[in-house]
Amino acid sequence: MLSFRPFSFIFIIGFIVAQSTLNAQEFPIAVGSDTTFSGGAVYGGHNGLVAVCGNSLGQYFITAQLVGAPGYLIGPRISLGSTGVVPGALPLFDGKNYFLVWRDFNATLQGQFIDTSGNTVGSAFTIATGVLLDQRFQHCVALGDSAFLAGFVKSDGYLYGQRVNKNGSLLGSVIQISNTQARDFCIAYDGTNYLLAWVVVASTGDKDIQGQFVSSTGALVGNNFVIDNGPNYSDNPTSLAFDGTRYLLAYHESPDTKTAWTIMGRFVTTLGTIGETTTLCDSSKHPAFPSIAFDQTNYLLTWLQSSNGAMMGRFYHTTGLPVDSPFVVFSSVGNKMPFGGIGFGGGLYLAVATRVDANFSDGDVYARFIQPTTTSVKDEENLVVRTFALSQNFPNPFNPTTTINYTIPTRSHVTLSVFNVLGQKVAELVNRSEEAGSYNATFNATGLASGVYLYRMYAGSFVQTRKLVVMK
C-alpha cells in the first residue's frame, strides 16, 4: 500500500522558486530545545490563536499562544494543564472565544474554551470517551450556527460525532456517522448541514473515500455515500472547505505512477452530488498533507512539497482553476522541513507550520498571516510566472535519478545540461523552445561515477549553474 511516512523524506538545503509574494513575514511561536508541534491556528479578527503541543515540561503538554497581525506574540504561552497526543489541539473561533479540541492519553476527547485575552473559560471537559489514539490526525471539529460538531474515531474503528454548544455543554448523545471503519477524515459546515468525509479502511487497501451529512441538530441526513472509489490509493489526510455553494475536498491519489502522491480536488454539492475532479498539485512535486480553507472569494490550498522541501500555497477559484502561481509559505531550514496548514477567520488566513527533522521530531512552530487574494480566475497577469529560476535538484544526493525544476517568464529557448567538474558535458536534458511556465526535467545518472556534478540552464540572457551529488 502506498502510504505517506514523514520520516522517510530526504531533506534539502536551499532552493529557488518563482512564487507569489506573501503579505507578512513568518514569526516564531515555539522554538528552542524543547520539542513542539502545532495542530492548527485561526485568526479571530482581534487576535489569533496558535495551538501548540509541547512546552519546557514535556512534548505532550497542551498549550496555546495568542498572536497579532502582522506577526507578533501576545502575552505568554497559555497552558491548559493537560497532555495530549500529537498533533495536539485543533482550534476554532466562535465569535467570542477560541475552542480547542484534543485527544488525551486516557482515550478521551477533550475540549477547552479560551477568551481573546488568553484566559481559560471554565475547565477542560470531556467530549467523548474510548477514542482511538494509535493514529495521528484522528479528530476534527467544525462550527455550525450555534454549536460545534466534533468528529472522532472510537476504538472500534468507526467514525462518530458529538455536538457541543458554545457554553461547553454536550448536546444529545454520540452519533455513529460511518458504517465503515474510517481514517483521515475532515469536516465542514454549509449553513444547514455538516459534511464529514473519510478514507475507508479496507483489507484490500484504503482506496475509497465516503461522506455523510449530519444536520445542525445532530441527525444523519441520508446515508453514507461514495465521494471517490477509484482504483488508486487515498490513504492519507483529507481536507474540506465550503464556498457557499459547494464543498471542495482535497485528498491524496496516485493516478499516474502509483508510486507518488497527487493532490486531487473533488467538488460535492449540498445534496451529495459528486461534481468535477481537478488536479490541485501533480505528482512531479511530490505533494502531501493538503489543507484547504475558503475566504469568501477563493480557496487557499497548502501542502507539503518534498520536491523543494517547502510548505506551498496556491489560491484556487471556485471552479477549481488556479488564480495565481504556487508560492512558498514556509521553506525548510537546515535539516528541518515545514509541516502544517491554514485556518481562515477575521479576514485573514493564519498559516502555521512545524519544522521537524527526518525523525519527525525536534519540532519548532512558526506562523504567518496571509491576505486573501482579490484576483479572479480571469486575471491572466497573475497566472504568469514572472521570474527565471533554476531550483535545486531533488533528491540530492541521489541514485540514480533526480528531478530539476525551473521556470521561465517568457517564451525562451532553454538548454539544461549536466557537466562533470572538468567541464565536460555528460548529459543534455533540455534543448528546445518553451512557453512561459514551470517545468521539470529528470536526470538519470546510471553509468556515471559517484561525485559532484554541475547543471547549467540557459534561457535567453539568463544563466544559472547549480551543483548536484551522485552517491552510489
Residues of the chain with CATH 2.60.40.1930: 389-470
Q: Of 2.60.40.1930, 1.10.3720.10, 3.10.150.10, 3.40.50.970, which CATH number belongs to 389-470?
A: 2.60.40.1930
What number is the average pLDDT over the span 181-197? 96
Lowest mean pLDDT among 59-68, 170-179, 391-400, 444-453: 391-400
Stated pTM of the model: 0.75
What length does the chain have?
A: 472
Say what the pLDDT of residue 339 is.
87
More confident call, 4 vs 143: 143
Q: Does 385 score more than 90 pLDDT? A: no
User: Chain-wide mean pLDDT for the chain?
Assistant: 87
Report d(CA 242, CA 294) in Å as an integer. Answer: 7
Q: For position 61, what pLDDT does the model report?
A: 94
> pLDDT tens digit string along 18-45?
333 355 688 999 988 778 999 999 999 8
Model confidence pLDDT, tens digit, residues 78-117: 999 999 998 899 999 999 999 999 999 999 999 999 999 9
pLDDT band at residue 257 under the 50/70/90 scheme: low
383: pLDDT confidence band, cut at 50, 70 and 90? very low
- Mean pLDDT value across residues 241-270: 89
Longest Cα–Cα distance in the chain? 75
Strands of 299-363, DSSP E: 299-305, 310-316, 327-330, 337-345, 348-356
For residue 359, the model assigns a pLDDT of 75
**Is residue 404 scored above 60 in pLDDT?**
yes
The DSSP string of 403-452 is EEEEEESS-EEEEEEEE-TTS-EEEEEEEEEE-SEEEEEEEE-TTPPSEE
Has domain 6-379 been given CATH number 2.40.50.1020? Answer: no
Cell of 259: 508510486
Question: Long-range contact list for 263-268, CB < 8 A, 24+ apart?
Answer: 263/287, 263/288, 263/290, 263/301, 263/303, 264/228, 265/301, 265/316, 265/320, 266/227, 266/228, 267/320, 268/195, 268/197, 268/211, 268/227
DSSP H helices, 213-367, are none
- 171, 177, 181, 183 alpha-carbon torsion, rounded to 10°: -70
State how far the alpha carbon of 129 is from the alpha carbons of 51, 104, 107, 125, 153, in Å: 22, 10, 6, 11, 10
- Residues 320 and 267 sit within 8 Å (Cβ to Cβ): yes
pLDDT at 72 over 60: yes
Write the pLDDT tens digit of every residue in 335-374: 889 989 999 998 899 999 999 887 777 889 999 999 887 5
Nearest to 32 by CA among 55, 11, 52, 48: 55
Q: Quick one: average pLDDT of 153-170?
A: 96
The larger pLDDT score, comparing residue 295 to residue 395, is at: 295
Residue 461 predicted with pLDDT over 90: no
The label of the residue with cell 530526504 reads: 10
Residue 285 phi, psi dihedral angles, 5° rounding: -90, -5
Residue 162 has pLDDT above 50, yes or no: yes
> What is the per-residue pLDDT for 137?
58
pLDDT tens, position by position, 275-296 = 999 999 988 888 999 999 999 9
> How many Cβ atoms sit within 10 Å of the Cβ of residue 327?
18
Does residue 16 carry a pLDDT above 60? no
Domain span(s) for CATH 2.120.10.70 in the chain: 6-379
